[in-house]
């Protein structure tokens, strides 16, 4: 049987662990607020770009437009590119202790890799967990194009444009037919949503274009405007995905830490019940001994 001292020590250890978890939870929840704010700040830019592009797209899709010869045309037409070459942008976290966040993302990544096992795969990794995971997979047709680690929680647009440049370069040089994206969408503090979708070529069904650009004058011309727009649009989107993933990771960590702290509390409660029982047992024994002793003297 455990001694009183052992149990007391255990309770102390568990309480300090609980304290640590609560602190981590507080840190995450403080950061979520600022992450959410940055996310909201970045939204107007991406939305406006999307609706502009959507409008311009209608102009270039009919007929023999010179834009069809442009290197950016591949982002609009999914029949282009080498069907045996695909890309993946994988966004995970840098650190653990955030519940199933990384595990779920990596499982999806593994599924993607299996799905495309006969194709040449080009992977762009953001986050240490993802990098460690993909590096362990030995496959001759799996290429790591770039890995960015330890950029959370201080991501900025610079990181996004770095990925964008690598992505553009790789898509052109390797003639990728499509680029998929796996990341976690921040739905609310309580829930994150794992997203696996095709990033390039663009899927215009999700873009809502509101304004009509029929009467606009373009300077220098529609094509030049599109060429200026597209890289910025891609950059802004990647930036958004990074922010979403960051916020989702923080939310996941917050929840994981909260339930861990609750668990610790439960264990501590059980232990203190046990402590009391052991103490009571000791007291009862002592009383028994005293009464027994007294009885022996009386007889």
Binding site for another protein (CB under 8 A): 38, 41-42, 44-46, 48-49, 52, 156-157, 160-161, 165, 169, 211, 213, 215-220, 224-225, 228-229, 232, 235-236, 239
Cis peptide before 197 (omega within 30 of 0): no
With respect to another protein, which residue has the nearer C-beta, 84 or 161?
161
Least gap, CB of 72 to another protein (angstroms): 14
State in angstroms the smallest separation of the CB of 63 from another protein: 21
Q: Are strands 176-186 and 192-200 parallel, antiparallel or unpaired?
A: antiparallel
| DSSP one-letter code for 232 | H
Phi/psi at 263 (nearest 5 deg)?
-60, -45
What's the closest the beta carbon of residue 123 comes to another protein, in angstroms? 19
Q: How far apart are CA 160 and CA 246, in angstroms?
A: 13
Q: At its nearest, how many Å lie between another protein and the CB of residue 197?
A: 21
Report, in Å, the least distance between residue 228 CB and another protein: 4
Nearer to another protein among residue 62 and residue 219 (C-beta): 219
Cis upstream peptide for 62 (omega within 30°): no
| Alpha carbons 194 and 183: distance in angstroms, whole number | 6
CA distance 155 to 152: 6
Q: Rounded CA gap, 119 and 90, in Å?
A: 17
Q: Which residues, 6 or more positions from 50, have their beta carbon under 8 angstroms from its beta carbon?
A: 207, 208, 209, 233
Minimum Å distance from CB 172 to another protein? 13
Nearest CB to another protein, comparing residues 52 and 264: 52
Q: Which is nearer to another protein, 3 or 156 (CB)?
A: 156
Q: CA 200, CA 197: separation in Å to the nearest integer? A: 9
Residue 101 or 239 having the CB closest to another protein: 239
Of 221 and 282, nearer to another protein (C-beta) is: 221
Give the span between the Cα atoms of 73 and 210, in whole angstroms: 23
Closest to another protein by CB, 195 vs 229, is 229
Closest to 235 (Cα-Cα) out of 179, 156, 173, 148:
156
Q: Answer positive or negative: Cα dihedral of 43, 46, 50, 53.
A: positive
Least separation, in Å, of the C-beta of 224 and another protein? 6
Whether residue 248 is preceded by a cis peptide bond, meaning omega within 30 degrees of 0, is no
């Amino acid at each position: 049987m455990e001694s009183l001292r052992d149990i007391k020590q255990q309770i102390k250890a568990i309480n300090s662990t609980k304290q640590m978890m609560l602190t981590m939870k507080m840190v995450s929840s403080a950061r979520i607020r600022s992450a959410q704010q940055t996310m909201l700040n970045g939204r107007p830019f991406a939305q406006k770009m999307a609706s502009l592009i959507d409008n311009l797209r209608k102009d270039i899709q009919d007929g023999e437009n010179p834009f069809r010869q442009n290197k950016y045309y591949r982002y609009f037409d999914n029949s282009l590119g080498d069907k045996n070459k695909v890309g993946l942008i994988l966004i995970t976290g840098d650190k653990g202790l955030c519940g199933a966040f990384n595990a779920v993302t990596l499982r999806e990544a593994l599924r993607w890799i299996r799905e495309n096992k006969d194709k040449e795969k080009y992977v762009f990794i953001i986050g240490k967990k993802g990098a460690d995971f993909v590096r362990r997979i030995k496959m001759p047709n799996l290429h790591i194009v770039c890995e960015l680690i330890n950029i959370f929680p201080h991501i900025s647009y610079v990181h996004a444009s770095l990925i964008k440049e690598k992505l553009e370069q790789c898509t052109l040089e390797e003639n990728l037919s499509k680029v998929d994206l796996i990341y976690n969408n921040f739905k609310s503090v309580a829930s994150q949503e794992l997203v696996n979708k095709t990033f390039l070529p663009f899927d215009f069904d999700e873009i809502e274009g509101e304004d009509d650009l029929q009467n606009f004058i373009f300077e220098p011309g529609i094509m030049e405007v599109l060429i200026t727009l597209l890289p910025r649009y891609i950059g802004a989107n990647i930036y958004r995905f990074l922010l979403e993933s960051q916020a989702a990771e923080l939310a996941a960590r917050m929840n994981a830490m909260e339930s861990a702290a609750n668990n610790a509390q439960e264990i501590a409660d059980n232990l203190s019940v046990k402590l009391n029982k052991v103490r009571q047992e000791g007291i009862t024994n002592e009383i028994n001994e005293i009464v027994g002793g007294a009885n022996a003297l009386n007889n």
